Amino acid sequence: MSTEILNKIDKILIANRGEIALRVMKTCKEMGIKSVTIYTETEKSYPHSYLSDESFSLGMGPLSETYLNHEKIIEIAKVSGAKAIHPGYGFLSENSVFAKKVTDAGLIFIGPTPHSMEIMGDKKTSKVEMEKIKIPLIPGYHGDDQSESVLKAAAIDIGFPVLVKASAGGGGKGMRIVWKEEEFIEALASAKREALNSFGNDIVLIEKFIQNPRHIEVQVMSDTHGNHLHFFERECSIQRRHQKVVEETPSKALDDKLRKSICETAVAISSGINYKGAGTVEFIMDADGKFFFLEMNTRLQVEHPITEMVTNSDLVRLQILVAAGLELPMKQQEISQNGHAIEVRIYSEDPDNNFMPAIGKIGHVGTPTLNNVRLDSGYVDGNEVTIDFDPMLAKLICWGVDRDSAISKTLHSLNEVKFLGVTTNRDYLKRIVNTTPFREGDTFTHFIDTYSDLLKPVETTDLEIAAGIASFLTNSQTEDTTKSETVQAWNRLQGFRNI
């Protein structure tokens, strides 16, 4: 198979940055495919700019002139001799116009067809399509009439609480929950403003808001030979600011029957629209196990590694095989869930101050030591965290034989993967996975609001502070001596924890 692939795709341009650029690069290295990366002039010290086989500067400027610049990226691909473009997630990954330009330039776009992207790219169009193939949908208003009065009437008709969502949106931007009629107008204005800023489009839709819902999504992968596979579910209920922070698979909320039903629904969608490549079908599930189609992401998902660990597969590799026109090298019945995996997203932010993003210089990135633990990060020692890009520093993914073991490994590894010098949510993530509700699987999308009392910071003890002071004092002590003398001094130390 490897020669067959290399004949088609021997060099890939990765049209992204940070951890996902490094993630795609790893699979390229494993498959013997050369990788080409792009970077802006301010990113020369970030590893995605120098760990690839070749890298090209995008210059300086706003995103539209760099990572979103269709023409420049396609030109770099051609100059470098890349045969295909991997868009990662975000940026141009769900842009059908770009995908078409790539194909028109004689290059392979590693992703679905522009047509699939168009169907799924707009929440309204996608729901119309889903109704055709009888996929369950949440009651809602997806009309063209966007006048305040019509939207308000629709909200009253659906019944509060309702959700106001940007039609073109994602990632929680342009999204508001409205609990009471009298809050509707202000929330609508705020959502529309954020939508316009983020997506250049302020069309919104209104939906029944399901209380205590779980976010369950199914990973699908389709080739161009009629094989539509799924790689089981992920539960991503734990969210802050409507963005996922903790994801896991399998979901504790699914029994075998429900799992089969939701996964088969996802495959009904991917085969129904004749999908190609990797995609994620997102569902919202209520307490009774009723699930509704939410949206389909036509790209690799941030949280894809937990699926890789539990199904022992490499989704980027499969994306590349499919893009090269090959058949998927497994059958559905060969894919199984083994053990449990949890991903936590490490952000440079202060969870105890309304998740305010933080900036700074990373003095040191810690390394996880346990087996079957992955740290997907785009930062190395000395890198600056700036306001130019997303504040996600890394994803920590821990696999265990069972859920309890995955939780223990997550708690232990979060202590190890320090980002010295920057305020992060590491401690907060530990608090989340260590709560009784999380341990018991009582997870739903308002978990963080509901259990905010359990998530309060634990006061640092005097003893912990004293240990920090000891280190501070000996740090200043070592400043006065040379390094090697200090090491000898430690070696001379006698009686440490002797019996």
How are beta strands 392-400 and 173-178 bridged, if at all?
unpaired
Residue 424 exposure: Cα atoms within 13 Å on the Cβ side = 25
Establish whether 241 is a catalytic residue: no
Closest CA to 94 of 74, 110, 81, 105: 110
- Binding to other proteins by CB under 8 A, coded x per residue (else -) over 218-257, reads -----------------------x----------------
Query: What sign does the CA torsion over 387, 389, 394, 395 have?
Result: positive
Q: Give the nearest distance from C-beta 11 to other proteins in angstroms.
A: 15
Closest CA to 202 of 212, 193, 211: 193
Residues 313 to 332 in contact with a second copy, rule: CB under 8 A: 314, 317
482 binds, among a second copy, other proteins, none (CB under 5 to 8 A by kind): none
Q: Is residue 426 close enough to count as binding other proteins by CB under 8 A?
A: yes
DSSP 223-275: -TTS-EEEEEEEEEEEEETTEEEEEEES-TT--HHHHHHHHHHHHHHHHHTT-
> Which of 176, 214, 299, 317 is flagged as catalytic?
299
Distance CA 197, CA 390 (A): 16
Residue 42 is a binding residue for other proteins (CB under 8 A): no
Choose the one of other proteins, a second copy, none that binds residue 470, judging by a C-beta under 5 to 8 angstroms depending on kind.
other proteins
Angstrom distance (rounded) from CA 289 to CA 296: 20
Indicate whether 81 belongs to the interface with a second copy (CB under 8 A).
Answer: no
Residue 374 interacts with, from other proteins, a second copy, none (CB under 5-8 Å by kind): a second copy
Of 49-57, 96-104, 194-202, 249-257, the segment contacting a second copy by CB under 8 A is 49-57
DSSP alpha helices (H): ranges in 343-425?
403-416
Angstrom distances, CA of residue 378 to CA of 293, 299, 382, 434: 32, 19, 12, 27
Could you tell me the sign of the dihedral formed by the alpha carbons of 55, 57, 62, 66, in that order?
Answer: negative
Q: With the C-alpha atoms ordered 57, 198, 108, 297, is the resulting torsion angle positive or negative?
A: positive
Which positions lie near a second copy, rule CB under 8 A? 2, 22, 26, 29-32, 41-42, 44-45, 51, 54-57, 75-76, 79, 308, 312, 314, 317, 338-339, 367, 369-371, 374, 382, 400-401, 404-405, 408-409, 412, 487, 490-491, 493-499
Residues marked active site are found at 299
- Footprint on this chain of other proteins (rule: CB under 8 A): 44-45, 47, 50, 54, 173, 190, 193-194, 197-198, 241, 354, 356-359, 363-364, 366, 380-382, 387, 390-391, 414-415, 418, 420-421, 423-424, 426-427, 430, 460, 462-478, 486-487, 489-490, 492-493, 496-497
